[in-house]
Amino acid sequence: RFRRLQSTKPFYVTTPIFYVNAAPHIGHLYSMLMADARSRWEQMHPSRSAFMLTGTDEHGLKIQTAAKKQGLEPKALVDQVAQNFKELCSSANISYDRFMRTSDEDHVRLTQYFWRLMREKGYIYKGSHSGWYCVSDETFYPESSTEEIEKDGKTIRISTESKHEVTYGTETNYFFKLSQFQQQLIDYLEQNPEFIKPRHRYEFILNELTRSKLEDLSISRPASRLQWSIEVPDDPSQKIYVWFDALLNYLTAANFPHGFTTPNTTNYNFTTPTENIWPATHIIGKDIIRFHCIYWPIFLIAAGVELPREVIVHSHWLSSGSKMSKSLGNVVHPADILQYYGTDPVRFFFIENSNIREDCKFSDELLHASRVQLLNKYFNLAMRVTSPNFNIADAVRYHHHHHHHRSNELQEEHPEQLAELITSFQTKIDALYATMDDRFQQFDYSKAIQSWWEVVSLANQIFQMGEPWKYARALQQENSQDLDSVKREMYTRLSLRYVYVAAEALRVASILIQPVMPSLASQVLDLLKVRENKRTCEFARLGADESYGEGANDESPRPLLSKLKVRQVAAS
């Protein structure tokens, strides 16, 4: 589904497709949030649109084995687990445009089509392969990447990297001529230093490529060993290697080969629409960088397809300082934290603490602390400004009528410092969209949130110093009749002025935080009576016309965010 302006190409953003052999973890949630926040950010712009892809990686030996253990057909198992991931999307409010399942019919068709294309171009050949194979990683490792260890009194060989067991074997495979494209990829990378972000990942890949020669890649497995995978076209004795299939999901969702200039091969009856959203921005974790930054671009170069716009490589989330693992008992289940802390605070936490350069820390204490800040600074300000003591529409009207002699009036009653604060605040608020946009483009979410906090904090500070409730109360008191007209006028002015400033800050900040906290932000905008059609980024500036609806604040604004204690996790 395309939104709004169809004439511009949507910003196509992808997450990895997730293995269905384990329950969703916070790394999965994080990849999705990074993509979702960006996709929503793009859509907030009147002339931009976005297309977000996520999904599940369902083929391979691991699934086959897991299904067998549970006495299930592989398809029955993947149907179940794909559902868990979809449920995670819905509880985390991830607004994907397509949820890819590699068992989807159009994807199977595309994969076989792409295979034929590569074969016809002469990049696939049959050979035999011996080496150290790791079932759980589904890869062959060169001997130098394995080591022998003692386990339960036996000597076994494991992958140095994954620590999973490997076994020696020989088999017939189809190979892809990776080696033929090594130089082309190096050239491309040298000319496109922005292709892989952050920089040190780019350097790592370029260094790998220039240092060692690429070996051709085995892209099939004997059907005797692997049944649960896509069949190699015209050779039922072989199944397609799961990574070859998986990477192609990004093209399936882009309706390859329609609208692409390349293929001219065996005809397939594609019936999908011809929209071309390619190239993509891929968001991936650091452990799958070789697949996305070496194999994938080479497949595309071989097919004559434009390379992805960029590959954003994020680091990992650590739980209590270490990698999450079942044996350490520090696995955090996304569904649990979403349910306990609420969707938006969890989304906010991961975006606020996102750092693609280094590993990020997760703990309940940190998440809780972030939520407390939200509650105390953002939400609380919203509750105060929208309290029945004030009328925002009046404040806005008043501001427009008395716009010109703003700062002088303030000085009469308030310290100069405050007037200065308000001036610098106005500059900040008008700059916020541009600043955040810049940082969203770079996937530098924590910096974007930092600027957001500056505005929200300043608004708090100004509201606190201005004490508009004092004047509002004085005017509402019975003996307010005794106030002389000059004082009355000044009290009105002061109370409305600070309400105006804080409401404007909240309005702009809430508009701009919608991609991160879609429901909380829109609930705050509702409380502020901001019109539904004035919630896009072009209204994220001071004094955007006619943003507010009429009427006094509601008598009893309903709390949307309640206080919580840190979640107590039973030690497992």
Question: Footprint of ligand ME8 on this chain (CB under 6 A)?
Answer: 16-19, 27-28, 30-31, 57, 246-247, 284-285, 287-288, 316-317, 324
Residue 3 or 25: the one with the smaller Cβ distance to ligand ME8 is 25
CA dihedral 300, 304, 309, 314 (to 10 degrees): 10
Task: List 125's β-bridge partners, or say none.
Answer: 175
Please check whether residue 474 is in contact with residue 512, taking contact to mean a CB–CB distance below 8 angstroms.
no
- Min dist CB 450 to ligand ME8, Å, is 21
Could you give the maximum distance between any two Cα atoms of the chain, in Å?
99
- Min dist CB 438 to ligand ME8, Å, is 25
- Min dist CB 156 to ligand ME8, Å, is 23
- Min dist CB 288 to ligand ME8, Å, is 5
- Min dist CB 195 to ligand ME8, Å, is 17
Minimal CA–CA distance to 35: which of 50, 52, 19? 52
Vertex 50 angle, CA 48 and 55, to 5°: 175
Contacts of 40 (CB under 8 A, 6+ apart): 50, 95, 514, 515, 518
- Min dist CB 316 to ligand ME8, Å, is 4
DSSP 106-129: HHHHHHHHHHHHHHHTT-EEEEEE
Residue 16 or 466: the one with the smaller Cβ distance to ligand ME8 is 16
Residue 89 or 246: the one with the smaller Cβ distance to ligand ME8 is 246
Helix, strand, coil percentages in the chain from 3-state DSSP, rounded to 5: 50, 15, 35
Tell me how far apart the alpha carbons of residues 387 and 366 are, in angstroms, rounded to a whole number. Answer: 30
Distances (CA, A) of 36 to 29, 272, 343, 368, 447: 10, 24, 13, 22, 17
- Min dist CB 15 to ligand ME8, Å, is 8
Task: List 172's β-bridge partners, or say none.
Answer: 128
Residue 108 or 474: the one with the smaller Cβ distance to ligand ME8 is 108
Please check whether residue 59 is in contact with residue 243, taking contact to mean a CB–CB distance below 8 angstroms.
no
DSSP 16-47: EEEETTS---HHHHHHHHHHHHHHHHHHTSTT
- Min dist CB 353 to ligand ME8, Å, is 12
Residue 325 or 476: the one with the smaller Cβ distance to ligand ME8 is 325
Tell me how far apart the alpha carbons of residues 436 and 432 are, in angstroms, rounded to a whole number. Answer: 6
The token pair at 425 is 């605040």
Tell me how far apart the alpha carbons of residues 449 and 67 are, in angstroms, rounded to a whole number. Answer: 43
Please check whether residue 534 is in contact with residue 544, taking contact to mean a CB–CB distance below 8 angstroms.
yes
Residue 288 or 419: the one with the smaller Cβ distance to ligand ME8 is 288
Look-up of token digits 């300043």: 458
Cα 126 to the center of its chain, rounded Å: 40
Please check whether residue 412 is in contact with residue 554, taking contact to mean a CB–CB distance below 8 angstroms.
no
Residue 171 or 287: the one with the smaller Cβ distance to ligand ME8 is 287
Laid out side by side, the sheet with 231-232 consists of: 220-222, 235-240, 231-232
Residue 484: Cβ within 10 Å count: 8
Residue 135 or 288: the one with the smaller Cβ distance to ligand ME8 is 288
Residue 326 or 565: the one with the smaller Cβ distance to ligand ME8 is 326
- Min dist CB 165 to ligand ME8, Å, is 18
- Min dist CB 111 to ligand ME8, Å, is 12
- Min dist CB 334 to ligand ME8, Å, is 11
The token pair at 42 is 């793009």
- Min dist CB 285 to ligand ME8, Å, is 2
Residue 255 or 389: the one with the smaller Cβ distance to ligand ME8 is 255
Please check whether residue 242 is in contact with residue 217, taking contact to mean a CB–CB distance below 8 angstroms.
no
Residue 89 or 512: the one with the smaller Cβ distance to ligand ME8 is 89
Residue 324 or 367: the one with the smaller Cβ distance to ligand ME8 is 324
Residue 55 or 257: the one with the smaller Cβ distance to ligand ME8 is 55
Cα 179 to the center of its chain, rounded Å: 33
Please check whether residue 392 is in contact with residue 528, taking contact to mean a CB–CB distance below 8 angstroms.
yes
- Min dist CB 292 to ligand ME8, Å, is 7
Residue 197 or 507: the one with the smaller Cβ distance to ligand ME8 is 197
Q: Residue 280 belongs to what H/E stretch?
A: strand 280-285
User: In this chain, which residue has its C-beta nearest to ligand ME8?
Assistant: 285
- Min dist CB 276 to ligand ME8, Å, is 20
DSSP 229: S
The length of the chain in residues reads 572
